[in-house]
Chains A and B, each alone.
Chain A
Amino acid sequence: MLLPRRAHERGNVWTAVLTRILGGMTCLLLSAQTLVAAPVVWDHIEDPLVRAAQFDLLVGEPFEAITRLEADLEQGRIKHRPAQAQLVLGSLYLANGAHHKAASIFETLGNGKGSSDQPQRVQNLAWLSLAQVQHQHGQTDEALASLQRINGELSSQTQQERLLLSAMLLMQQQNFDQAVVNLRQLGKKSLVQQLREKSVWETYGRFNLGVALFRQGKEAEGRTLLEKLGSATADTEESRALRDKANLMLAYHHLNKNETEKAQQYFVKTRLQGPMSSRALLGLGRVYSSRELHKKALVPWLKLSKMDASDPAVQDGLLAVPFAFGKLEAFKQALEYYQLALERFKAEVEQVRQAETAVNSGAVADTLARAVSNQPAGQRWLVQDLPNTPGGRYLWQLFTTHEFQETLKNYVQLRRSLERLEQWSSQIDSAKGVEPAHRRELEKRVAGLQSELLSVLERTQTHLKVLAQETLKRHEQRLLGYASEARFSMAQMYDYASKRWGSEQ
């Protein structure tokens, strides 16, 4: 399921740099990476102290704003519409990742407890943002429930976001029928309107509808949608990547049904420079190969074999080249290319093992956490340059998953909290005129929190490690399997050659 990024966003964690490193591949990694929820901004906030908290929210400093606003509330300083302070607190907690707390505050919306003065438009945006954050935190049911709270007319973009997000959540629940209903609504607007808005949401919606229809068994309808998408003009890199994805999906669909001519039509439509190029080259070679056109198959496969060998399609290509030479009875070349493949697999295994060492030592998590922490406020989670982590090429796909990103955010915040506790501990020690009982109570709270934080921090770090280790292990096993395959094929060829030419002598 694909979702676009909002136009105003500069990208989620790692996307910018991954785009640079991988030549735009991240545009199509959005199956896991969705929107960053926009801060929830409330209308007509009266008390200036509450408006100051809203300012902090908008410039990306939610933690400081929470502590100040909570202190102001506790001290009774919010004298004008204190219910509005609660709403802003909800926004601040949401921006800080505390979606459970935010959800409990947003529950008061429209229930007549002083916050129903917010326009429905603003309330709807709050529910949508909450749903996005809940989705990022793996809370599918809760996210759907939040979307259900949206009432009345929505602006065009908000409506598209809502439909696309709810369709994705439904598909995660395997509810393809309802997802299709949502996605069909996305296409209800007139073509003139769609063109005027140049909405990438529509494009994603059409793609996802095509996929959902395939899953429903409505192949013909799904195919028609994807064909239109695959032939559409595209003026942005994101749209072009999506067009490639549609063509590639159709190509593999036909290839799996052994309809090689149709498959070829779609493979050649996929760009050679785009993120789908390696898979297109692999598939195109497969089309020729299945027609016994092995010389022609070598053209895309040789091109593919020169690409980055951390890409699974390239790894397949490295074995496909000698396979084609073997079919052409060019055994010398076949052996040479098996040898070449073996060397590249060995080199890649070495890279993966170096990455494993770095992951096990905690260096990868630390490097990533430092990179995130060094970002300016407001762009904290928009890392522009991927830190030079060993084996990063094998981990980028993991880095773009919600689970990894949210765990990393927690890890960074927990570390920062430990530093804060150290600082507060000193402040408590040096504070003057504090009642001894109050001082003891504060010291006790700091000590208790330090212990709790350390425990959660350790578990979080372990979780990051496990995620990376599992990913690297899968890559390593795949590469080792491919290396064995290359060795076995070489041995068979030597055996065959010795018998054939040996007997001729």
Chain B
Amino acid sequence: MKKVNVVRRGLAFFCVTLVGLGLLASGMAYTVSAAEGSAAEATRFVQLDAAAERVLNEVAALGAQMVVLEEAQKSASHTRLRVLVTVDPGPFFQLDAIQLHIDERMVSFHQYTETELAALQKGGSHRLFWGDVSVGQHKLTVSMMGRTPKESDFQRTSTLVITSDEGRGVVELRIAPGENENQPFPEMRFKEWK
């Protein structure tokens, strides 16, 4: 008789655990029952999450003020020059790197990662140079390195002379791909944004 009790107790216990497993195995049933039991916890999470978002947004707003403050530190005799790179999508040219000289001094060399190239292809513009130059005339020399189907070590250099004044100076370097396999070489075009 006692032996039966031993087994019965074990079996009862075992069946209870299987009910739990059955729920777990059903996936959704488990998820729903869990969701039902934790409405208060969910509210707690949503409130805390909203509080975090609020304060993080305030930090971002202050961050913008700090950018303004930093830019205001520049000398009045300087202008903030931004040189941005845009790449029009095309199958015949793979950009590797870009080098920028301002008045014969190298100010930027950037080798592009796969993520960055993908970002360029999706319509992003890369900040090649983001700094101060004195007010007046400057020569920008850009060298572009990459690959085409016909040339694995393609390089091209282009020059632009700008006259910077106080305030914003934005120069866009647009790389337009070659039109077809016979003309795979990309073109570089400058555009000054006013």
The interface stretch among B12-20, B100-108, B131-139, B178-186 is B12-20
The interface stretch among A49-57, A156-164, A230-238 is A49-57
B125 to chain A, nearest CB (A): 4
Given the complex, which residues of B lie within 8 Å of A208, measured CB to CB? Answer: 28
Q: With the chains together, A403 CA to B50 CA distance in Å? A: 13
Q: Indicate if the CB atoms of A99 and B53 lie closer than 8 Å.
A: yes
A177 to chain B, nearest CB (A): 14
A18 to chain B, nearest CB (A): 17
A200 to chain B, nearest CB (A): 16
Interface size class of B (residues with CB under 8 A): 35 or more
Least CB separation from B11: chain A residue: A323
Q: With the chains together, A264 CA to B58 CA distance in Å? A: 59
Q: Indicate if the CB atoms of B21 and A316 lie closer than 8 Å.
A: yes
The interface stretch among B69-77, B88-96, B146-154, B158-166 is B69-77
Is A302's CB within 8 Å of the partner chain B? Answer: no
Contact string against A for B residues 1-27, beta-carbon threshold 8 Å, 1 for contact and 0 otherwise: 011011101110110011011101111
Q: With the chains together, A436 CA to B101 CA distance in Å? A: 39
- Most chain A C-beta atoms within 10 Å of own C-beta, residue among B21, B60, B67, B193: B60
Q: Indicate if the CB atoms of B58 and A1 lie closer than 8 Å.
A: no
A90 to chain B, nearest CB (A): 13
The 9 residue pairs across chains A and B that have the minimum distance between CB atoms: A55-B124, A70-B64, A67-B63, A58-B119, A51-B125, A71-B67, A410-B52, A323-B10, A211-B28
Chain A contacts to B: CB under 8 angstroms: 1-2, 31-32, 41-45, 47-49, 51-52, 54-60, 63, 66-68, 70-71, 74-75, 77, 79-80, 93, 96-101, 137-139, 171-172, 174, 208, 211-212, 214-215, 245, 248-249, 251-253, 255-256, 279, 282-283, 286, 312-313, 316, 319-320, 322-323, 326-327, 329, 378, 403, 406-407, 410, 413-414, 417, 420-421, 424, 427-428, 431-434, 442, 445-446, 449, 452-453, 456, 459-460, 463, 485, 488-489, 492-493, 495-496, 499
Q: Indicate if the CB atoms of B51 and A459 lie closer than 8 Å.
A: yes
User: Given contacts A51-B125, A489-B9, is CB(A446)–CB(B57) below 8 Å?
Assistant: no
Is B97's CB within 8 Å of the partner chain A? Answer: no
8 Å CB contact of B46 from A66, A138, A174: A138
Q: Indicate if the CB atoms of B14 and A316 lie closer than 8 Å.
A: yes
Q: With the chains together, A306 CA to B4 CA distance in Å? A: 28
8 Å CB contact of B59 from A80, A174, A256, A420: A420
Chain B contacts to A: CB under 8 angstroms: 2-3, 5-7, 9-11, 13-14, 17-18, 20-22, 24-32, 35, 41-42, 44-46, 48-53, 55-73, 82, 84, 86, 115-116, 118-120, 122-127, 168, 170, 172, 193-194
Least CB separation from B70: chain A residue: A427
Q: Indicate if the CB atoms of A326 and B48 lie closer than 8 Å.
A: no
8 Å CB contact of B21 from A48, A74, A137, A313: A313
Given the complex, which residues of B lie within 8 Å of A312, measured CB to CB? Answer: 17, 20-21, 24
